[in-house]
Structure 1
Amino acid sequence: MRLPRLAALSAVVLAATGCTSPAQAPAATGTGPAAALVAAVDQFRDQYAGGGIVFQLTAAAGTDPTVTRVELIDTRFGPGTVWTGNTVLPGGQTKSLPAALGPALCGAEGGGSPALRVALTDGTTALLPAQDQHGVLARVHGERCFADRAGAAVTLGLEDALAPGPFPDTAALELVVGPPAVGAGAAGSSPGTLGPAVLRSVGSTTLLAEDSCAPWPRDVPLVPGSGVAIVVRPARCDPHAVAEDKVGTLIPLALDVAGQEGVVKVAASPALRGQLYDAVIRICRDLGFGP
């Protein structure tokens, strides 16, 4: 059974992490308009799959500085989380600037103290403490490090073809289990050294749910070369279910990897995602929803 090329293990994981006291945020440094900015980090729903974030900058009322570069400084991530461009920050308003996160440093300790290094067109720069109201950086750091740990034990993907389910209002995904990922193990384990992972449970999404007559698999050892069927039905049939979907085809899998538990979300390939959308529309129509 081949591992789908386009549906490899997504680095979107909810890991069980220990409680640590966050490091104190650095005081703002710099001069001029850059030092007067208020900084924050956040993540939009359509960034979940890729692990991107947004830098949010707010300029003081009555000013309109132009920002050219923003860089994240955080001990939990390596260099490379940078936005560049040429954007005016309207006074009193918040501007969101997207950036791809650099590599997670899985040996990093402490709660992190994020800051943004900001440069403006007038030549001023500043290092600003960044609010992280939703705990985005801690969550993504845990996600990536558990994904790396899981990848040292097993590689997971979804077959590109959606199969008919056992009942008219269902369809069947196939989870394909492959050998450990090449290059996995940066979290402290070499590929193949953690032993088999165990699939504890499957989670629902905004688009897909479990059918009570075809329960999802539980406590299944994930052996390379094997497959696991996951029968799904629509979680909702309102007109916006497919039209506004962003994360409904990211399938949450609760895993146990050598005694550590976390949730890995495996992404459907573009081909499979289209088939899932078609299936949801068809099933909902057959159930009397929609035209």
Structure 2
Amino acid sequence: MPLRVRVLGLLLPALPALLAALAACSSGQIDPVESVESAESVEKVGSPTFTAELTQDSRDTARDRIAVVLANEGSAEVAPESIELVDPRLSRPLVADRLRAVPPGGERRFPLPLVDPVCGGPASDPVTGPGRLAVRVGEHTVDVPVRDEVGVVTRWVERRCAELDVAAVAELRFTDVRARDEGGSVAGADLVLTATPSGEGSGAYVIESVAGTPVFTAVGEPWAPGVTVSADGEPVDVVLAARPARCDGHVFGESAGATSFLVGIRLDGTPREVLVRMSPEVSAAALDLAIDVCRERL
């Protein structure tokens, strides 16, 4: 028997099934089981369920950022492609970095670098908020309510607006660190906080207090300069006699706020607080002096 005839003989019994399959494909029909599995996959990836909470530790504060803890309440891993916090008190959305997948039932902490707030209007009212989180996963953007139980955005708005108001009168910064000798040995440091007037307007404020840090504290009574600074006046140096608060490696190695000082200001009769950080150069000199003092004590 010729080869072509034998092949046709084998194919003819299966021809009805092949024709039925071709008809199903041409009509757009899909296997019901495959369709259900595909829909479930789209639901898991396209509609993730999240909860979110804002937080801030000392390292965040030192870097002018906050963080959002994003919890994945679903049953599949989700890899956010963008995370943005939208809050009317801020000049623009906060964009998270260091993105990575969130496992099912797990959570991840994402840093949010801060931007300037909207100062002086209803949006800067502390009662406004919290904002909302927009999480993009693939082609879908999920709107997630955000808890801010400790008020990290409120604190930032109050602090940054205070910094801008204070700088409009006179900028505050640490300009020098001087060793203080007693009996021929280094006993501490004099930290020089300088107020440089803006030269604009006639505003003024009073430097009422300066808080210590995990590394530096006041010699004797807490720092309470009580110095008045005017926008149209001369620069003012405030010398803070300081000593190490503690002498152990953990404090020097782990404290992100070692040289960031909270300064209490009274501006237009209203108490305000600003965080004044030492520059890297001044900070290094201050820490070196603190280490020298600790060595003298050992």
Say if 2:205 is the partner of 1:197: yes
Distance 1:34 1:158, change over 3 A: farther
Match of 2:128 among 99, 104, 111: 111
- For 1:27, the equivalent position in structure 2 comes to none
- For 1:170, the equivalent position in structure 2 comes to 188
Distance 1:166 1:201, change over 3 A: farther
- For 1:68, the equivalent position in structure 2 comes to 81
- For 1:271, the equivalent position in structure 2 comes to 281
Distance 1:99 1:218 in 2: 35
Say if 2:225 is the partner of 1:218: yes
Structure 2 counterpart SS, 1:170: strand
Deviations 1:184-219 (A, max 9, x none): xxxxxxx8346221111121111101111x863421
Unpaired runs of at least 5, structure 2 = 1-42
Distance 2:225 2:246 in 1: 24
- For 1:77, the equivalent position in structure 2 comes to 90
Distance 1:31 1:139, change over 3 A: farther
For 1:276, give the aligned amino acid: A
Range with greater deviation from structure 2 (191-200 or 57-66): 191-200
Asked whether the 8 Å contact 2:159–2:275 carries over to 1, the reply is no
Distance 2:103 2:202 in 1: 51
Aligned-pair CA distance for 1:246: 0.5
Distance 2:268 2:144 in 1: 40
Matches within 5 A, 1:276-287: 276-287=286-297
Distance 1:82 1:258, change over 3 A: same
For 2:227, give the aligned amino acid: V
Distance 1:226 1:34 in 2: 58
- For 2:62, the equivalent position in structure 1 comes to 49
Asked whether the 8 Å contact 1:251–1:267 carries over to 2, the reply is yes
Distance 1:215 1:92, change over 3 A: closer
Normalising by structure 2, what TM-score? 0.76
For 1:125, give the aligned amino acid: T
Deviations 1:79-132 (A, max 9, x none): 1311256521111111111121232012113331311011012x2211110011
Q: After TM superposition, what 4+ stretches of structure 1 lie above 4 angstroms from structure 2? A: 30-35
For 1:59, give the aligned amino acid: N
Match of 1:207 among 211, 215, 225: 215
Distance 1:75 1:31, change over 3 A: farther
Asked whether the 8 Å contact 1:35–1:127 carries over to 2, the reply is no
- For 1:25, the equivalent position in structure 2 comes to none
Say if 2:213 is the partner of 1:231: no
Distance 2:134 2:178 in 1: 50
Distance 1:196 1:117, change over 3 A: same
- For 1:94, the equivalent position in structure 2 comes to 107
Distance 1:133 1:169, change over 3 A: same
Say if 2:152 is the partner of 1:144: no
Unpaired runs of at least 5, structure 1 = 1-29, 181-190
Aligned-pair CA distance for 1:33: 5.1
What RMSD over aligned residues (CA atoms) do the two structures have, in Å? Answer: 2.2
Identity of matched residues, %: 25
Bigger radius of gyration, 1 or 2? Answer: 2
Distance 1:179 1:133 in 2: 37
Deviations 1:127-150 (A, max 9, x none): 110011221011111111111111
